[in-house]
Amino acid sequence: MAALRAAKQALRKEIKRRVAALSDEEKLRQSSVLSKLLFRHPKYVSCKRIAVFLSMHDEVRTEEIIRDVFKCGKSCFIPRYESSSNHMDMLQLRSLQDMETLPLTAWNIQQPAAEDSSREEALSAGGLDLILMPGLGFDSLGKRLGRGKGFYDTYLERCMKHPKGKPYTIALAFKEQLLPEIPVDDNDVLIDEVLYEKDL
């Protein structure tokens, strides 16, 4: 286990270094390419209930995707992380205006406030059809290197217990986040598909 942890830590450093070297223009360009790929994806087209992460500076931008989700009349859910544990809920985002008023966490991520209990949690009702996954690194087999807290792995386990079952998972990645192989253990849930700009 210690060797696996050390290997993951080394990879996290390496990927952070790679992504930090990208210009903002390049991040936006790749994000736009991925958004357009996603909008044509059959799983996106057919989904009714989708969970989308609100992007941090070193992640694929999701604003364009969230705008499209509302334009298409889909239900949009966003993560609320509990910093004291690895618990995360996916809470309904009501509109683009709603997103603008969300408070910022210590991690500089916007999310619904802890005392905001008026929002529907995805699994308390109809479950989810699709989850867009963040992460630091990915390989072509769907292995994912997260930030080490286990929020998404734990949430996907909860999804598997929902009557609807596990939603389809698509990771959004800069091509600099792709690795030949990522070391994983039994708690790491594989992703169905990694979307990145392939060299055409």
User: 144: annotated binding-site residue?
Assistant: yes
Q: 14 phi and psi, to 5 degrees?
A: -60, -45
Bridge-based pairing state of the strands 130-133 and 168-172: parallel
pLDDT given at position 199: 64
pLDDT given at position 167: 97
200 exposed, middle or buried (CB, 10 Å; 0-12, 13-18, 19+)?
exposed
User: 51: annotated binding-site residue?
Assistant: no
| pTM exceeds 0.85 for this model | yes
pLDDT given at position 185: 81
User: 111: annotated binding-site residue?
Assistant: no
User: 37: annotated binding-site residue?
Assistant: no
Residue 200 makes CB contacts below 8 A (sequence gap 6+) with none
User: 161: annotated binding-site residue?
Assistant: no
User: 198: annotated binding-site residue?
Assistant: no
User: 10: annotated binding-site residue?
Assistant: yes
User: 137: annotated binding-site residue?
Assistant: no
Q: Are 14 and 94 in contact (CB under 8 A)?
A: no
Average of pLDDT values for 165-194?
92
110 exposed, middle or buried (CB, 10 Å; 0-12, 13-18, 19+)?
middle
**Domains along the chain with CATH numbers:** 2-195 (3.40.50.10420)
User: 127: annotated binding-site residue?
Assistant: no
User: 8: annotated binding-site residue?
Assistant: yes
User: 61: annotated binding-site residue?
Assistant: no
User: 156: annotated binding-site residue?
Assistant: no
User: 172: annotated binding-site residue?
Assistant: no
Q: Are 33 and 24 in contact (CB under 8 A)?
A: no
User: 13: annotated binding-site residue?
Assistant: no
pLDDT given at position 91: 97
CA 182 to chain centre: 17
- Encode pLDDT of 59-89 as tens digits: 999 999 999 999 999 999 999 998 888 899 9
Average of pLDDT values for 43-47?
98
- How high is the mean pLDDT of the chain? 93
DSSP string for residues in the chain: -HHHHHHHHHHHHHHHHHHHTS-HHHHHHHHHHHHHHHHT-HHHHH-SEEE-PPP-TTS---HHHHHHHHHTT-EEEEEEE-TTSS-EEEEEE--HHHHHTPPB-TTS-B---TT---SPBGGGTT--SEEEE--SEE-TTS-EE--SS-HHHHHHHHHHHSTT-PPEEEEE--GGGB-S-----TTPPPPSEEE-----
CA 139 to chain centre: 15
User: 12: annotated binding-site residue?
Assistant: yes
User: 104: annotated binding-site residue?
Assistant: no
